[in-house]
Amino acid sequence: MKVIVLGAGVVGVTAAWYLAKEGHQVTVIDRQPAAAMETSFANAGQISPGFSSPWAEPGLPLKVLRWMAGPHAPIVVRPRLDLAMMRWLEQLLANCNAHDYDINKSRMLRIATYSRDCLDALRRDTGITYDDEQRGLIQLFRTQKQVDAAARDMKLLDLAGIAHEFLSPDDIARHEPGLMENRHLFQGGLHLPGDESGDCHMFTARLAQKAEEELGVTFHYETNIEALDASATDILGVRTSMGRMTADAYVVSMGSYSPLLLRPLGIKLPVYPTKGYSLTLPVTDPARAPVSTVNDATHKVSITRLGERIRIGGTAELTGYNLRLSRDRRELLELSFSELFGAGGDLSQGAYWTGLRPSTPDGTPVIGPAGRFANLWLNTGHGTLGWTMACGSGRVLADRMSNKRTEIPCLDLSIDRYATA
């Protein structure tokens, strides 16, 4: 088929790669001058199947209320007259129970674990490098309450067959020597040896180049996507700033902007932007810097080593499509890093960035056909885990569009799960 992929972030580019590997003629359209210039540009850098969890968890509403009373809340809701936000929050709250949490986390673990395996195979096949490391991740618990809450997640990790172990503070310091002086801050940690790290922007840019040079994928950058033309049952074309383009099939991978494109077609995609922030700074003392990735469970901040750089990422802010950089969010990132790694990196040289994560209320991405339009497909809504889930999502999508049997169950990843919501 001739396929048009809308969006050149990591999710769109990996989809284009796998579709082209299946022999399809693929065109990618994006408004930016190059691949991975928005949400994929400076994310946390972690590929974390074992850390895949929905925000909608039991007790979340009370946690958010407590956080709002403090200066360094990891999740912030900026109230606004926004019906899309209200509907999304309503659906999020409906998922904040133990039954739905277990279902949603199991779905996320399935696609994330598969995606890591797809990425491993892609790395072997192509030789692609992106400041990548395969050294695992440690989630740091500062309180006994966090340790107790992790026990439920460890049971789900057991069911999913994901390797993990609980670490004492001394064990943590052996894995991450830069934490030796501050190990007294922790009650313990969860080690996920199968998790990885790497620069998402570097990966996506290099994969896009390979897709173009080796598989014949065409990229139209600096091209605004304006609307989809449709009949009652099919998409007829996409209107862009460079003119109307047509194909046999269309894939929407526009992140947080996907629902805006689909709304005129009557498709209610439950994706809303959750704003995240990051700091990227140089390593100043390798002995004090992270070796791989750690997640601070208290501040909801991740700290990742990317070659000679450190990426500090985290926080979630519901404030619509606002891309202004917030000073208090930077303070939270700096606080977590200072408490854990101190002089390992130079915060004064940190490059501050923000991006909009396309989040669903249940945490699971939307991958599959888009309702009544036979030639319209969705691959979006990955939230904080676009980098983690991109390769697996692209492979599942390409298999389904090629009428091939998928290697993992995927029907419950489609938009149909919201039909009765």
Q: What is the pLDDT along the chain (421 residues), one digit of tens a residue?
A: 999 999 999 999 999 999 999 999 999 999 999 999 999 999 999 999 988 889 899 988 888 877 776 677 888 888 788 899 999 999 999 999 999 999 999 999 999 999 999 999 999 999 999 999 999 999 999 999 999 988 888 988 898 888 999 999 999 999 999 999 999 999 999 999 999 999 999 999 999 999 999 999 999 999 999 999 999 999 999 999 999 999 999 999 999 999 999 999 999 999 999 999 999 999 999 999 999 999 999 999 999 999 999 999 998 899 999 999 999 899 999 999 999 998 899 999 999 999 999 999 999 999 999 989 999 999 999 999 999 999 999 999 999 999 999 999 999 999 998 874 4
The residue type at 229: D
Give one DSSP letter per residue of 293-348, joined into a string. Answer: EEEETTTTEEEEEETTEEEEEEEEEE-TT--PPPHHHHHHHHHHHHHHTGGGB-GG
Q: Cβ-count burial of 110 within 10 angstroms (0-12 exposed, 13-18 middle, 19+ buried)?
A: buried
The residue type at 170: D
The residues near 354 (Cβ < 8 Å, ≥ 6 apart) are 275, 276, 277, 278, 323, 324, 325, 326, 329
* DSSP 3-state of 31: coil
- Site of tokens 């854990």: 340
Give the predicted TM-score (pTM) of the model: 0.95
The residue type at 195: D
